[in-house]
Structures are given as structure tokens and as C-alpha cells.
Amino acid sequence: MLSPSLVLGASFAYLLLLFAVAWWADRRAEQRRSVIGNAWVYALSIAVYCTAWTYFGSVGRAASGGVWFLPIYLGPMLAMLLAWLVIRKMLRIARTYRITSIADFIASRYGKSPLLAGLVTLITVVGIVPYIALQLKAIDSGYHLLTTSGAETLRDAGPWWQDGAFYVALALAGFTMVFGTRHLESRERHEGMVAAIAFESVVKLIAFIAVGIFVTWGLFGGPVELFARANADPQLRELLRLAQNDRPFAYEQWFALTMLSMLSVVFLPRQFQVLVVENVDERHLKRAAWVFPAYLLAINLFVLPIALGGLMFFGAGRVDADTFVLSLPLAAGQHGLALAAFVGGLSAATGMVIVETIAVSTMVCNDFVMPLLLRWGIFARQRDVSGWLLAIRRAAIVLVLLLGYLYFHLAGEAYALVSIGLISFAAVAQFAPAALGGMYWKGGTREGALAGLLAGFALWAYTLMLPSIAKSGWWQTDFVAAGPWGLELLRPEQLLGMAGLDNLTHSLFWSMLANVGLYVGVSLWRTPSVQETSQALLFVDVFDRTRRERPVFWRGRAKVADLQALVRRFLGADAADRLFAAYARQRGVDAIEGVVPDARLVQFVETQLAGAIGSASARVMVASVAEEEALGLDDVLCILDEASQLRAHSQALEQATAELRAANLRLASLDRLKDDFMSSVTHELRTPLTSIRALTEMMLDDPQMAPAQRQEFLAIVVTETERLSRLVNQVLDMAKIEAGHAQWHNAEVDLIELLKHAAQTVHELVRERGAELLLDLPAAAPTLRADRDRLLQVLLNLLSNAAKFVPAEGGRIELRLKVDADAATVEVQDNGPGVPAEQRALIFEKFRQGGDGANRPQGTGLGLPISRQIVEHFGGRIELRADQGQGACFVFTIPWQQPESPAEPAGDSA
């Protein structure tokens, strides 16, 4: 065992280190060099989720249920997948309306109801007490494990004034007051606390991993040996196979735990505090969405190895599995590691207690005590009540910790750490329907939220809280075992005869069923009030309203002096003067006296007060100095109409912007096509011109050149000039056709003769490719009135394209003509590689060519677009038929009856 003075000294030194970190962060904030304005610090602060429950309780749960500790961490990982959709909306709402707690969040949504805020606060205090008890139990058990012998570990706590856990609770209360209630802020942001929590997250992770490494590689030869030895033990083998739970429907508990932890990572007061209230930049959520799950994965890597190692080292049932993190290093003589592990556990516990009690004390002050004191008029004659606010919060911190100590003595000894924590999880899960429903459903009402919360909380207390107290022996067990008045259908652990579920899943089912059912049912039954409607708009449409100036739902008269005096009473004179000076500068005036006391100023004052005393109390206080005119239904409809018009204008502007952006993209695409065309045409012009110039210079320089060679060179020159002519003609053709200046010479055309002529024209080209051209023509066909040369141009384009792509051996091109009563159809089929799927939609565009890289043929990519223009001029259409196994098949159809077109002037075709 270790010396008590050593353990206490190390603990005190660590707490001083935390205080130094917090002091340093606060100093940096005063110098406008915020430490918490960092995504890594934000992500690590969310790891306050990992409390003494994670540090000790997860190992205990793994020792009895294998991997059944995982749902507690799987839920938060799944929740972070929805962070950018759900949590970001909560961040935007909280920042916009200065919301400082989960009670304030729910109350603000439903008309800033003091009654609803008070109910949420009451549920929070009652529900969070078991979690406070868990931390005290962990610290107390760990301390006595390190400082007492095995025989003394099972001790009688004795009177409360001799119990170390009582003084631990008081010490944590004092430390929390130093951390979070030194001064009053309208923003309710605690930079020093967040920095210290992030630091604690690193400490507890390193300490836990150090123990895991020691157990895995120090006591055993690595994970392979550890799991092999565990698998050789029949009892541990069953544990690894999850056979400890012999109930036939065990996996409903897995689902319940996952869902419960998924809600708790957002709605636990400490999680809402660090996740929402303390956030300085919602973009930090992107990093936290993967860093926090990675942290959970890292801290759980060695949970199962430590649990199995403890069971093999000590034997099953001989040592409390919750203490394996401390007892294994201690039993192996690694006292330094045991002390480090205790400091890590202390870090996990103190981090939770500090943030939780700060959040709860803010709720107790703003949403429970302040409304009562304001109603009784206690502060009516006081000009500065900021000191009272701090005193109330400090008293609330002490009260919450003492309640946790009381629960620790009533029920804590009878429950494992994880079981205690799950009781709190089930309590705060009752906030989910009202909070999430209020963010996405405008029809939710105050009465619906109240009914749902009351029913859910009552069933939670009846089916889970009371049995936990009864298990300690403090409550009359007959009530729980037999049901009230002996009615078994009302037994808390098997309500209405529902058997086969564990206590947690049973309680969660009934409480959430009643909560959601009453919330939706009562909300549908009752029409929302004017204030609820206005708040619903602000919450549900928060993203739309923060992109532009928000309408203010207030009408009345106020005086600047009265509003100034009100803010000074609750925030102090210096803080109030700074806030009003900043507001005046924002409105473009030199001093606050020059500001018109309009709805915006009233809203500004109410928002600032909401950060210090809660939205419900802020509304009451503003109403006491400003004469507000009640908004009627017509006013709300008018506001809605204005908001709809703004939204319509905004949508129209966004649509116009999108169209302009699309036009710009099309212009950019055309510009790229122009560049491609110029590059292609330049290349096509340069190649024959280079050949012509080179050959003519050779003939010019060598008058004695042999006639045969000169004749060969002249033939090449003629071929290249013909190639240039075709290129120029294609470019001119496309330009004239698109401009409507092309000349057409329509006459009666014999299609069979035309197709034979086209085949004869390309015969030599096809032969050079080693291919054959097959004709499939009817015996007779009606004549078609069209421009013969233009149709021949289409046929030659298609046939020459086919000749370019047929294989070197066994190439085949089929030219077919089909006629019916309406139209003539010409098909050009080859057995080449076909057109790739990604190019099929592009081949008829200008300057586009089939093939890729080295396989791309020469040309400008104008042949097919020109062919399409010609065919469409005669009322037909051309297409690339879907692949039928091999090759490409181009088809064009021209009706016998031509569309009427203006007479074309005679002349040579371009």
C-alpha cells in the first residue's frame, strides 16, 4: 500500500496543476489570445464524457459481460455522425440567442417558459445526483485501495464526519467554485475550465493506456498470449463469447444502451456545456466529429485486456473488478504506475464534477432560484445583484455535491459504477423529445413538452430510481417487490406485466413511450400560443434567419436609461457599459444615448441578460422596465408573411445566382472548346502545310531530281492540298449551316444509287484498311427530295469514320437501307471497338472526337456535328444506336415528306 500523505500530496499537486492551466487560459483570454479557439482543444474537452465510469466501471462491466461495455461508447460515435446536421443546429441556436444550459434551451423554444425551465432543472438535479455519487465512490474506493491493506478495505464508513468521501465532496465543491464561479459573464463561457478539461482528457488517456500496456505486455506476453490464456480458461472463454447473459433477448439491452448513450452525449448537462455553450466556432465541430470517436476508441482499447488480466491474475470474484486499473499495478509492485492510474481516475472524476456542477448550478440559479426571488420581489431595491448570482451558484454547487454524497451512502454501495451511471443517462434522455422536436417541428407546444417531461420523469423515478434505492435497503422493499397495494401489475421492475427486460431497458421503454406520446399528442391537441409560434420560427428556421437580418418579435416602448440600469443590476456597471458602448458603435453612433430604444435594443438587452440569468428570467426582467404591447395572431401572420416574402426573394436571388453560375460554366466550357478547336485546326493545318513546304523546297533545291521521285512528291503535295481543302470546307460548312447561310440544292434523289455511289467512293479507303464493305439494299425505293451532295457528305462522313475504327484484320462495314411508308432509314455498322460509354453523349458535339490518346484519329471533330445539322435540316434525326455486342452503329432517318423551308438561293454548295 501507499502512504496516505503521498496519495493526498500527489492529488493536491495535480489539482494545483489544473488550476494553473485554467489561470493561464483565462489570462490568455483577457489578452484576446483564446486557447479554446482551437478545434483540438474543443474536441478534447468533449472527452469529459469519459468519467470515472469509463476509467473504472468499463473494466468492471467487461469483467462480467465481455464486450457489453461497448454500447456506452458506440452511441456517442454514432451521434457524431449526425453532428453537422443536429449539433451544428444546436450551436447556431445557442449562439444566436445566448442560451446557457439545456434547461434554457428547452424553455426558450417553448415561449421562454419559467415553469418548463424549472421542471428541466429539477429533473437534471435529481437525475444527475447518481452520477455525482459515482465519482465520489470511485475516488473514495481508489484512495482506500491504495492506502489500506486488503483486510481493511472492507470497512465501515462510520459517521459522516469521519468519512473521507464527505470531505472529498467539499473539496471538489471548493475547487469547482474557484474554476467556474469567480465572476459573472453574459456569455457564460469558461475558457480556463475548458482548457483544464482538455488537459485532463490527455492525462486520463495516457494513464489508462499506460496501465493497459503494463497489463498486456508486463504481466502477460502480449495480446496474443493474454487472449490465448483467457480462451484456455472455460469460464473466461464463455465471457469472450458473451455467454454470461443467458437471457433469450439480450440484444434489446444492447440497442437500449446504444440509444441511451447516443442521447446522453448531447443532453447530459456537462456535455451540453462543453459541446454547445463553450463552443467558439461551429466549424470546430468538423474536427471533433472524428477526433472524439477516435479518443473513445483509444481509451477503450485496453478495457477488455485489463478485465481479462485481472480475472486471471486474481481469480474471479476475489477482487472488485471496478478496481482492476489500480489493483493490478499495486499487486505487481508497480506503486508509481498505481499512483499515476489513481491520478488519471481522479482526473476523470474531477473533470466530470467540475463541468457538471457548473452547468447544474447555472440552471439552478437561472431557472429555479432566480424566478422565485424575482417573483417575491427580493431584488427590487438592489442596484447590483451580480454578487447574489455568484453566491446562489456557489451554494448550488455545494448542494449538488452533498446530494451526491447522500446518494452514495443510500444506494452507492449496492450498485456497480456502471449501473449508477446508467440511472443518470436514463434521466437526461427525457429531454430528447422536447429538445429535438422543438428544433425540427414548429407544432410543438409548451403543454406538450411539460406533459411529456412530467410523464417520462415520473416513470423513470418509479421504474428505475426507486428500485435502485430499494436495493440499498433504505426503502421498503415490499413496495418494489410486490407493487403498491399488492398489485403485481404495478411492480416498478415489471410494469403492466412486462417481464424479461433488464431494469434499464424496461424503464427506458415506458418513460420514453409516455414522453414522446404525450409530447406529440398534447401538442397536436392544443394550438401554439403567439410566443411559442415566434420562438418556433426562430429555432426551426435558425439557419435561414442567421443568413440575413432577423425580424424582432417585440413591440412596445422602452427607455435607454431603464435598460442600462437593468443590465447594470445583473452584470455590473463596468460590464454593462462595455456592452452598450459596443452596441452603439455597431449602430453607428458615438454613445448609447444616441440610440433609438427600439425593438432591436430591447432584444439586445434581453439576449445579454439571458446569458447571465436565463432566458425566462431575462424576459421577466425586460418586461418590468419596458412596456410591451402583446402580439396578436394577426401580428404573427403579418410577420410570417414578411418572412415568407423575404425567403421568396432570397430563393429567387439564389436561383438567379445559380443560373448565372451555370451560364458562366457554359461559357467557360465553350471557351475551352474554342481553345481545343483552335489547337486542333492549327495542328491539322500545320501538318499538310509542313509536308507541302518540305517537298516543294526539296524539288526546288534539286533541279536534277529523278522524274519518278518528283512525280511521287507532286502526288503527295496534291493529296495534302486536298486534305487542306476538306478541312477548310468543313469549318466553312459548319459556320454557314449554324448561321443559316448554307445553300441547298434540292432535287429528286435515288437513295439506292446514292448509297452505291458512296460505297464506290470509299472502296479504296476500305480496301487499304484490309476490310470489306457489305451492302444491304432493297430492290426498289421511292425517291427522296433533298440535296444529293449534302446526303452524300453525310454518308461519306459515316463510312470514313467506320473505316478508321475497324480492326486491322477481319474488318467489316455494313451499309443498310430500310424503307417504310413514312421514312427512309440508313444504317452504317462496323465491327470495331465501339464508342466508350462516357463518350456516347459527346460525339455529336462540335470539336469532339472519339477514341483516346494514341488511338484518336486525325480530324477536327466536325464531321458528325455537320452530319447532324444536314439530317435535321431535312426533318430527320441521326443517332448512335445502343451497343449490340460489338462495334458502332450510326443510324439516320429522313422522312419522305420534307418540312417547308424558305427558298435557298442558287449557287455552288460550300
Q: What is the pLDDT of residues 493-551, one digit of tens each?
A: 777 767 777 888 888 899 999 999 999 999 999 888 877 887 888 888 888 766 655 54
Lowest mean pLDDT among 130-134, 671-675, 775-779: 671-675
Higher per-residue confidence, 713 vs 204: 204
Mean pLDDT of the chain: 80
Ramachandran region, residue 204 (left: φ > 0; alpha: ψ -120 to 50; beta: rest): alpha
Picking from 688, 711, 689, the residue whose alpha carbon sits closest to that of residue 699 is 711
Picking from 806, 802, 793, 812, the residue whose alpha carbon sits closest to that of residue 862 is 793
pLDDT-based confidence at residue 477 (cuts at 50, 70, 90)? low
pLDDT tens digits along 89-130: 999 998 888 888 899 899 989 988 888 988 999 898 888 887
Residue type, 438: G
Residue 328 near residue 313, CB atoms below 8 Å: yes
Picking from 846, 849, 835, 842, the residue whose alpha carbon sits closest to that of residue 881 is 835
H/E stretch holding 290:
helix 284-299
pLDDT at position 577 is: 81
* Spatial CB neighbours of 714, under 8 Å, sequence gap ≥ 6: 699
pLDDT at position 199 is: 94
pLDDT at position 276 is: 92
pLDDT at position 600 is: 75
Picking from 845, 864, 862, 869, the residue whose alpha carbon sits closest to that of residue 744 is 869
Residue 466 in this model has a pLDDT that exceeds 90: no
Residue 562 near residue 625, CB atoms below 8 Å: yes
pLDDT tens digits along 575-598: 788 888 888 887 777 777 777 777
pLDDT at position 61 is: 84
Q: Judging by DSSP bridges, how do beta strands 889-895 and 877-880 pair with one another?
A: antiparallel
pLDDT tens digits along 69-87: 888 899 999 999 988 899 9
pLDDT tens digits along 752-780: 998 988 888 888 888 888 889 999 999 88
Cα 567 to Cα 99, 171, 539, 570, 618: the distances in Å are 17, 34, 25, 6, 10
pLDDT at position 354 is: 87
Residue 855 in this model has a pLDDT that exceeds 80: no
Residue 631 in this model has a pLDDT that exceeds 60: no
pLDDT at position 248 is: 39
Mean pLDDT over residues 659-669, rounded?
76
Residue 48 in this model has a pLDDT that exceeds 60: yes
pLDDT at position 413 is: 55
pLDDT at position 853 is: 47
Rg (CA), the chain: 41
Ramachandran region, residue 218 (left: φ > 0; alpha: ψ -120 to 50; beta: rest): alpha
Lowest mean pLDDT among 365-379, 466-480, 794-808: 466-480
Exposure on the CB side of residue 780, measured as CA atoms within 13 A: 1
pLDDT at position 571 is: 76
- Which of 86-100, 177-191, 252-266, 282-296 ranks highest by mean pLDDT? 282-296
What percentage of the chain has pLDDT greater than the value 70?
Answer: 79
- How many Cβ atoms sit within 10 Å of the Cβ of residue 597? 18
Residue 394 in this model has a pLDDT that exceeds 80: yes
pLDDT at position 340 is: 94
Picking from 265, 270, 267, 422, the residue whose alpha carbon sits closest to that of residue 352 is 270
Lowest mean pLDDT among 430-444, 603-617, 673-687: 673-687
pLDDT at position 316 is: 76
Picking from 822, 766, 759, the residue whose alpha carbon sits closest to that of residue 792 is 759
Residue 626 in this model has a pLDDT that exceeds 90: no
Residue 900 in this model has a pLDDT that exceeds 60: no
Which runs of E-coded beta strand occur in 744-888? Answer: 746-749, 771-776, 784-787, 811-819, 823-830, 877-880
* Placement of cell 489539482 in the chain: 15
Cα separation of 726 and 526, whole Å? Answer: 80
Mean pLDDT over residues 172-184, rounded?
72
pLDDT at position 135 is: 84
* Spatial CB neighbours of 561, under 8 Å, sequence gap ≥ 6: none
Mean pLDDT over residues 185-208, rounded?
84
Residue 343 in this model has a pLDDT that exceeds 90: yes
pLDDT-based confidence at residue 783 (cuts at 50, 70, 90)? confident
- Which of 193-207, 453-467, 830-844 ranks highest by mean pLDDT? 193-207
Lowest mean pLDDT among 92-96, 150-154, 316-320, 854-858: 150-154
What percentage of the chain has pLDDT greater than the value 90?
Answer: 21
Backbone phi, psi, residue 822, to 5°: -105, -35
Higher per-residue confidence, 328 vs 638: 328
Cα separation of 767 and 655, whole Å? Answer: 57
Mean pLDDT over residues 188-204, rounded?
87
Residue 366 in this model has a pLDDT that exceeds 70: yes
